[in-house]
A and B are shown apart, each in its own frame.
Chain A
Amino acid sequence: MRHDFYLAWQYLRHYRWRSLTLLVCVSLIGILPLLLNEVLTQGERLMLQRAKTTPWLIGARGSTADTTLAALYFRDTAPPVAYGEINRVEQSGWATALPIHARYRIHQIPLLGITADYFDFRHLVPALGDLPGFIGDCVLGARAARRLGLGVGDKLVSTPDNFFDLAGLVPLKLHITGVLAATDTVDDEAVYVDLKTVWIMEGLGHGHDSATTRAAPTGSAFTTPETDPASAGAADAVEITPDNLDAFHFHGDMERYPVTAIIVAPHDDRAATLLGGRYVDENLPVRLIQPVEVIRHLMHNIFRISTLFNLVLAGASGAALLALMLVFALSLQLRQGELDTIELLGCDHLTVVRLVMAEILLILLLAAGLGSIFLAYIRHESGILAPVLLDAL
C-alpha cells in the first residue's frame, strides 16, 4: 500500500501543473458552498453584533437600511438630519446621543465626523498617540493606518473622493494625532475627525487667516488626480495650526448643520419607552430606527438569495464534478499505454487500479487540506467579512 502511494505521489509530482490544476478545481468545488455559508454566518454574527451594540438611530425619513448601513458600517449615503436633534434627546435626560457624519471618503477610506463620546461608546482607544484634541486633528483606525501607510505626526490631505459633489469640499491638511488599537470591526477601517472638522470641510465653518484663505473647493472635473495620499491636493489644502486655530468659526445656526444619523443609547428600559413615544408621529422629519431589526431584515433577504445561490452552486458543482470525472476518464485513456507497460512489467490489474485510486485519493486529500487552510484563514480574518458582505450588497 505504501508503495502505491509512493508511486502515485511521484506521478503527481512529475505532472505537477496538471496535478495542481486538478487540486485547485477539486478544492474549489468542495469549499465554495462551505465558504458561502461561512461568509454568511460570520457576516450575520458580526453585523448583528454591531447592530446589537447600537440601540437606536435617529435618521431622516427614507430608507432605514441606508441610514443603518451608513451610520454603523460607513457604507452607502443617507439623507442628513439636523444636528439639533441631539438636543431633543439630551434635554429629555433619557439617553446619550452621539452624532455621526459618514458622508465622505478620503482616499477610498470612510471619513467619520464624530464627537469624542463615540470613542467611549465603541471602546476605541489609541494604540499610538492621542485622540483628536482640536479641529483639524484626526485619528486613524488600525487598518486605515496600514492602508494609508501613515502614522502619528504625519499629515493627511482630505481630498474628497466624490467628484459629483457640486458644492465641492474644502481640502484640509489633517494632523494625525493617533492610531487606534485594532478591534476587528469596521471601526478599524475609518479616519476619525471631530464633527466640526467635517463642517469646516463642507464650508460651514472657516477661518479668516491668510493661510486659510488659500482654500479652493475641489471636485472640479478639470482637477488632475494625484496619487500620493499624504500630498494629494496639498497645494490648495488649508491647515489648521495653533496660530490660526482661533480664527476658525461657524456661521448660521449650528443646530441646522447636517449629520448622517444620531446614535441614541437610552439609560434604561423606561427611558427607552418614553423616548420611543416621542418619535411615533409620522409627520416628524426624522424617525427612530432599530438597527437590529433593519439588519435582521437585510440578512433574511441575503439568506433567501443565498439559498437560491446554493442551488445554482450545487448544479454548477455537479457539472464540474462530471467534467472532472471525464478528465480522469480521458486521462486514463491517454495513459493506457503507460498502464499496459506497468502490467507488462509484472503488476497485476488490481495493482494498476490501486495505483490510480491512490492518485485520486491523494488529490482529494490535498484538496481537502488546501480548502481547510483557506477556510481557517477566512475564520481567522472574520473581521473582514462584514465589509466584504456589505460591499457585495
Chain B
Amino acid sequence: MNPEFSLRYCSMHFESTPAPPITPMLRTVFTLLLVLSNLTTVAADNLQPRLTVVASHYPLAYFAGRIAADHADVHLPMPGGIDPANWRPGSSGIRMLQRADLLLLNGAGYETWLAQTSLSRARQVDTSSGFSDRLIRIEQAITHSHGGSGQHTHTGTAHTTWLDFSQARQQAHAVAAALGRKRPELKSRFEEHLQALDSDLARLDQNLEALSLQYQTLPLMASHPVYQYLARRYRLDLVSVHWEPDEMPPGSEWDALARTLKQHPARLMIWESQPRPEITRRLTQLGVASVVFDPCANRPDQGDFLSVMQRNLQNLKQARESISAVLQK
C-alpha cells in the first residue's frame, strides 16, 4: 500500500469528525510504520523459495514468466531451434521435469512423451483443459518427414491452441490459477500480473479479429497443418500442405499444389518461418505470395511472444495490402 495514499485517506477520515491535529512528528512515525510494514511483507515474500516452473513450449513459459515475475524460475527443457512438439526428454530432461514444482502442459496431445515418462500428476497443469470440448480433431493424418527430424504424423488433435488468442488467454488464466494454488499468499500479485498479460492478449485478439475482416474473401494456403485454431477463430479459409521452409518440396508436391489451387485459388501461403528464396520464387510464379506467421513454439532469437505475434500481424497486414495492390492492377 502506498504510505502517502494511506496517510491522505486517514486524514480525510479524521476530517469528518473533530480530531486532534496530526503533528509532523506523528505523521513521520506513522509513515515510518507503514513503510516498515510494507518492507516486512516484501521480505516475507522474498523468503519463500522461488518456484521451479517447467513449460512444454515457449508461449506457456512466457505466460508463466509474466505472471510469476520474480517469484519463479521458468524453464524450457528443450534446446532452441527445435519444435517442442517433436521434442523427447532425455535423462537430463526428465530430471528437470521431475524436479519442477509446476509442469505447464499445453494438452491437446501436444506432449506425446507423457505416455512414456514417469512424472508427478499432481504437478502437471493441462492448460487447455478449460476448452477441451472445443479442441479440433484431425481426421486424415499424413505421416511425413522433413530434414533430419525423422517421420512424424499430425494425428489426433490439433495442438497449436495458443494461435487462437482467446484460447491463449484461457491458458494464461490456467497458468495463473496453478501458480496461485502453489503460492496462495502471492495470489493477488499473480492476478495483477495476469491482468496486464490478459490485456495484451486481448489486444492481439481484437487486432487480428479486425485484420481478419480483410481476409474473409481470400482463400489461403498454410505450409504446415498448425494453423487450425487460427483459422477457426478468425474465420480464415485455409488449406494446409506439409511443407518445410528450409526444404524444397519435390515435384509431386508442386503438382498437388497446382491441383489444389484450381479448387482453392489462394493468393497467399502462410509459413512458420521465412521459406528458402527458390520456394518463394516458384510460389510467386504460381501467383502465391508468402507470409510468415511464426507460431513461436520455441523461444525466439529476438523479442518475445508478444513482439513475435505483433510482427505476425504486421506481416499479415502488409501481405494483404500487397495482394490488394496486385489485384487492383
- Complex CA distance for A98 and B121, rounded to whole angstroms: 8
| A72 sits at the interface (CB 8 A) | no
| B98 sits at the interface (CB 8 A) | yes
When the two chains form the complex, which single residue of A90, A96, A132, A246 contacts B118, counting CB atoms closer than 8 Å? A132
| B307 sits at the interface (CB 8 A) | no
Residues of B within 8 A of A133 (CB): 89, 91, 94-95, 98, 117-118
- Given A133-B94, A133-B98: A115 and B116 interface contact (C-beta under 8 Å): no
- Complex CA distance for A280 and B94, rounded to whole angstroms: 40
- Chain A residue at smallest Cβ distance from B113: A246
Per-position contact with B for A121-152: 1 when CB-CB < 8 Å, else 0? 00000000011111101000000000000000
- Complex CA distance for A145 and B120, rounded to whole angstroms: 24
- Given A131-B98, A133-B95: A120 and B116 interface contact (C-beta under 8 Å): no
Residues of B within 8 A of A115 (CB): 118-121
Residues of A within 8 A of B122 (CB): 96, 117, 120
When the two chains form the complex, which single residue of B89, B115, B116, B121 contacts A117, counting CB atoms closer than 8 Å? B121
- Chain B residue at smallest Cβ distance from A254: B115
- Chain B residue at smallest Cβ distance from A192: B118
Residues of B within 8 A of A135 (CB): 115-118
- Chain A residue at smallest Cβ distance from B118: A194
Per-position contact with A for B98-122: 1 when CB-CB < 8 Å, else 0? 1000000000000000011111111
| B317 sits at the interface (CB 8 A) | no
| A249 sits at the interface (CB 8 A) | yes
Residues of B within 8 A of A248 (CB): 115-116
How many A residues touch B, CB cutoff 8 Å? 25
Q: Is the interface of B mostly helix, strand, loop or mixed?
A: loop
| A245 sits at the interface (CB 8 A) | yes
- Complex CA distance for A153 and B207, rounded to whole angstroms: 56
| B242 sits at the interface (CB 8 A) | no
| A272 sits at the interface (CB 8 A) | no
Shortest Cβ distance from residue B249 to the other chain A in the assembled complex, whole angstroms: 26
| A309 sits at the interface (CB 8 A) | no
Contact B95 A249 (CB under 8 A): no
- Chain B residue at smallest Cβ distance from A135: B116
Residues of B within 8 A of A196 (CB): 115-116, 118
| B189 sits at the interface (CB 8 A) | no
- Chain B residue at smallest Cβ distance from A121: B122
- Chain B residue at smallest Cβ distance from A119: B120
| A250 sits at the interface (CB 8 A) | yes
- Complex CA distance for A239 and B95, rounded to whole angstroms: 21
Residues of B within 8 A of A245 (CB): 88, 116
Contact A116 B88 (CB under 8 A): no
Contact A116 B119 (CB under 8 A): yes
- Complex CA distance for A284 and B313, rounded to whole angstroms: 53
A window 192-225: CB within 8 A of B: 194, 196, 205
Q: For B118, B119, B122, which residue has the most chain A Cβ atoms within 10 angstroms?
A: B118
- Chain A residue at smallest Cβ distance from B88: A246
- Complex CA distance for A368 and B213, rounded to whole angstroms: 96
- Chain A residue at smallest Cβ distance from B121: A115
When the two chains form the complex, which single residue of A120, A130, A242 contacts B95, counting CB atoms closer than 8 Å? A130
Residues of A within 8 A of B98 (CB): 116, 131, 133
- Given A196-B115, A250-B115: A117 and B94 interface contact (C-beta under 8 Å): no
Shortest Cβ distance from residue A57 to the other chain B in the assembled complex, whole angstroms: 17
Shortest Cβ distance from residue A101 to the other chain B in the assembled complex, whole angstroms: 13
- Given A116-B98, A246-B88: A131 and B118 interface contact (C-beta under 8 Å): yes
- Complex CA distance for A266 and B190, rounded to whole angstroms: 25
- Chain B residue at smallest Cβ distance from A265: B122
Contact A120 B117 (CB under 8 A): no
Shortest Cβ distance from residue B175 to the other chain A in the assembled complex, whole angstroms: 16
- Complex CA distance for A90 and B125, rounded to whole angstroms: 11
- Complex CA distance for A248 and B90, rounded to whole angstroms: 16
Residues of A within 8 A of B116 (CB): 134-135, 196, 245-246, 248
Residues of B within 8 A of A134 (CB): 94, 116-118
Residues of B within 8 A of A194 (CB): 117-118
B window 258-287: CB within 8 A of A: none
Per-position contact with A for B109-150: 1 when CB-CB < 8 Å, else 0? 000000111111111000000000000000000000000000
- Complex CA distance for A205 and B118, rounded to whole angstroms: 15
Q: For A96, A132, A134, which residue has the most chain B Cβ atoms within 10 angstroms?
A: A134
Shortest Cβ distance from residue A207 to the other chain B in the assembled complex, whole angstroms: 10
- Chain B residue at smallest Cβ distance from A249: B115
- Complex CA distance for A246 and B116, rounded to whole angstroms: 7
Contact B120 A116 (CB under 8 A): yes
Shortest Cβ distance from residue A115 to the other chain B in the assembled complex, whole angstroms: 5
Shortest Cβ distance from residue B277 to the other chain A in the assembled complex, whole angstroms: 35
- Chain B residue at smallest Cβ distance from A115: B121
B window 58-91: CB within 8 A of A: 88-91
- Complex CA distance for A115 and B123, rounded to whole angstroms: 11
Contact B121 A137 (CB under 8 A): no
Shortest Cβ distance from residue A208 to the other chain B in the assembled complex, whole angstroms: 13
- Complex CA distance for A131 and B99, rounded to whole angstroms: 11
9 residue pairs bridging A and B, Cβ less than 8 Å apart: A115-B120, A120-B122, A131-B98, A133-B91, A133-B98, A133-B117, A135-B115, A194-B118, A248-B116
6 tightest A-B CB contacts, nearest first = A194-B118, A133-B94, A116-B120, A132-B118, A117-B122, A117-B120
Q: Which residues of A contact B (CB under 8 A)?
A: 86, 90, 96-98, 115-117, 120, 130-135, 137, 194, 196, 205, 242, 245-246, 248-250
Apart from A133-B98, A135-B116, A135-B117, what are 16 other A-B pairs with CB-CB below 8 Å? A90-B121, A96-B122, A98-B121, A115-B121, A116-B98, A116-B119, A117-B120, A117-B123, A131-B118, A134-B116, A134-B118, A135-B118, A242-B90, A245-B116, A246-B116, A249-B115
